[in-house]
Amino acid sequence: MASEVLTAGPPAAGPARFRRALLWRSPPDQPTWARPLLLVIAALAGLAYGWGMASDSVEPFYGAAARSMAGSWHDFIFGAFDPAGTVTVDKLPGALWLQALSIRVFGFHIWALVLPQVVAGVLTVLVLYRAIRRVAGPGAGLAAALVLAVTPVTVLLGRGNVSDSLLILLLVLAADATTAAMLGGGPRSLMLAGLWVGLAFQAKMMQAWLVLPAIAAAYLLAAPAAKWRTRVAHVAAAGAITAVVSLSWMTVVSLVPAHDRPYVDGSRNDSVYQQVFDYNGLARINGKQQIFSLAGPPATFLKVQAQRQETLTEATSGVRPSWHRLLSGPFALDAAWLLPAALISVFLRAKASLRSAGLGPRRELPPLRDGNRRGISLRGSRDPHLAATILWGGWLGILAVFFSIGGYLNSYYVAALAPPVAALCGLGWSLLGPWPWSRTVRLTMLVTVGVTVAYGVYLLNSSSAVDVPGLLQPVLIIAFLIAAAFLLIAPRLRGGSAAVHVFTALVLLTVPAATAATTVVRGLGPFDYPFESQQTSAVTQWLPRDEAAYRIAITGLRARESRPGMLFGTDTSYVASTYIMFSGQEVLPIGGIWGGLPVPTLATLRSDISARDVQQFELPIKPPTEDPRVRWIEAHCTTQAVPDPDRAVQFAYYFCDPSAAAG
């Protein structure tokens, strides 16, 4: 395995390389089985992400924004939520740009909305393989790609329209470029890593910057530049590129006069910088109340829905911060199945590096291309394996700390932990060395499998794991016993290498793969978590069930619309989102996503009613609201619908006569 690392043959000619790609043949510097197996893994990942994507339950708020942006280049550039460009979404629009382009090309379909995330998920698997192969060889790269592909949260993330899919792809590209820089690519590759992180900022803002310390530490340890000052200069230059790319769109938007662009949601003073660094930054650590305050006081009916767990994210965002937040409950079911194996890999790599540095029994390691032995030193000797472990381990550790202490955490956020866990598992696999394994290696592997299985059994029996298939736990235990038997007696068997590798991988991947499969069968998405209750699924999967009702309502509203392109108005973008997504027409959102924005003002609203631009409204009447705009409509307009007294949140339609607004 280790002898395959960093070997490179002459580059193939263009036509020959193209023919090998068509025939699934590996490049000359890789084993013949590498590319076919990689493409099989990628195909299975794409199948899991894309299965049933025409009926996925997407987030309508982001879906509405993507459709609005697809219909107007002005809305596209500024990330407008509604077709009229009244307000923006409450995030940077980087990921929505791809979704809007997909809708613009294919027309509005749920599958067109989900397609960019499916593609991003498959590309992430391929790029992770390349990043780990650079350091540890094709076998380790395949192990990492397979672990990532079967991690449940990765599958869930690819089956929706949230921005984390693009964020993760760009961060894995940054890690791959950093690895190339460590192995001889030099500062140019590191600058590329800085570019990728800057683009990732456009997708998920400050979360993209959390990997920067890990990138810097890995490069400083293993860069080919001998002088310490030179390495620091390279890191500083890459950081400057990240900053410029990250802040570029925000700066341009801030220079546009307010009357020529939508009002910035998630901000009380129409500032995209406040939206990014306060509302989507520090407030995420402090919790929901801080987020609400930065976007204005939330509509009362949204508080009631949150208390009754009638929102998409409430089932997991209510899990309180703690040191074990990611080790049990929904977040562990999402991404922590192979965390023990990843941590053991970090321990083994550190132990091997200490030995090679002379702090333990020395073990000869394969030479690099330039003839240097691997060893930890700040004077120029390089240890790419250790540097890669620092890169991926730092990514995992930093994000784990922030996710553990953050006051607001959605289930799909933890998908960012899946690539480093998968990468560390791949790096650990490469430490096993060539067959036959020594007794120490086999016992180490047995302990790793045993700890991973024990943790899996714990998760399957945790209080949050409901609706778990009854056969899953017995199958896991039986697989462990088979793998243990092979690890103990394999040296006596002819062809034991293949058997041990197969059964060891089988037992490690049994539960995450089966868990991922159940999410596909149940049609779950990013706002779900594995084995969740049917009650939770009924909330998160409401869109496919209610799509027909919304389309019928839109047809009726079109027949009575105030003016072409304006269906009606609603309290908050939250209520308007599903109508905009399915119709592509303007639904005036009063107050933005939470209802607290000062747009439109009451004077503007009355002017629009007087001009017959909008006359119909859908407003909550229970619980009552204190918003003066909504109160004015209730006092001066006619109720058109009788509310349902059995619902905690009741809505009614209002018709406003222009004469009432003109008075």
499 pLDDT exceeds 80?
A: no
Q: What is the pLDDT of residues 183-241, one digit of tens each?
A: 888 899 999 999 999 999 999 999 999 999 999 999 998 888 768 899 999 999 999 99
pTM (2 d.p.):
0.91
pLDDT of residue 410: 86
Q: What is the pLDDT at residue 141? A: 95
Q: What is the amino acid identity at position 373?
A: R
Residues 6 or more apart in contact with residue 363 via CB below 8 angstroms: 352, 355, 356
pLDDT category at 564 given cuts 50, 70, 90 is confident
Return the top range by mean pLDDT from 16-25, 437-446, 555-564.
437-446
How deeply is 13 buried, as exposed, middle or buried, from its count of CB atoms within 10 A (0-12, 13-18, 19+)? Answer: exposed
Give me the sheet containing 650-655, strands edge to edge: 586-590, 566-571, 616-622, 650-655, 638-639
Q: At which residue do the structure tokens 């613009």 appear?
A: 104
Of the candidates 386, 482, 526, which has an alpha carbon nearest to the alpha carbon of residue 59? 526
pLDDT at 463 over 80: no
- CA dihedral (55, 535, 96, 317) in degrees, to 10, reads -160
The residue ranking higher by pLDDT, 174 or 325, is 174
Least confident of 64-73, 304-313, 556-565: 304-313
Pairing of strands 566-571, 616-622: parallel
- Written as six digits, the tokens of 339 are 């965390």
Confidence band (pLDDT; 50, 70, 90) for 6?
A: very low
Instruction: Tell me which of 238 and 34 has the higher pLDDT.
Output: 238
The predicted-structure confidence for 407-423, as pLDDT tens digits, reads as follows 778 889 999 999 999 99
pLDDT of residue 129: 97
Confidence of residue 490 (pLDDT cuts 50, 70, 90): low
Least confident of 156-165, 247-256, 381-390, 636-645: 636-645
Residue 644 has pLDDT above 80, yes or no: no
- Tokens 């950093």 label which residue? 178
CA atoms of 407 and 598, how far apart (whole Å)? 26
Sorting pLDDT into bands at 50, 70 and 90, what band is 292? low
Q: What is the pLDDT of residue 9?
A: 40
Q: How does the average pLDDT of the chain come out, rounded?
A: 85
The DSSP symbol for 57 reads -
- Check whether 66 has a pLDDT greater than 80: yes
SS3 label, residue 525 = coil
Q: Is pLDDT of 76 > 60?
A: yes
Can you give the pLDDT at residue 373?
Answer: 35
Mean pLDDT for the stretch of residues 131-135 = 94
Among 209-213, 475-479, 535-539, 546-550, the range with the most confident prediction by mean pLDDT is 209-213
Please give the pLDDT value at position 423. Answer: 97
Looking at residue 10, its pLDDT comes to 45
Confidence of residue 474 (pLDDT cuts 50, 70, 90): confident
Q: Mean pLDDT over residues 591-613, rounded?
A: 91
Tokens 């038997």 sit on residue: 485
Position 120 scores a pLDDT of: 97
pLDDT at 483: 79
Q: How does residue 25 score in pLDDT terms, banded at 50, 70 and 90?
A: low
Note the pLDDT of residue 294: 64
Distance CA(187)–CA(484), nearest Å, equals 46
Output 488 or 380, whichever has higher pLDDT. Answer: 488
pLDDT at 437: 72
Percent of the chain scoring above 70 in pLDDT: 85
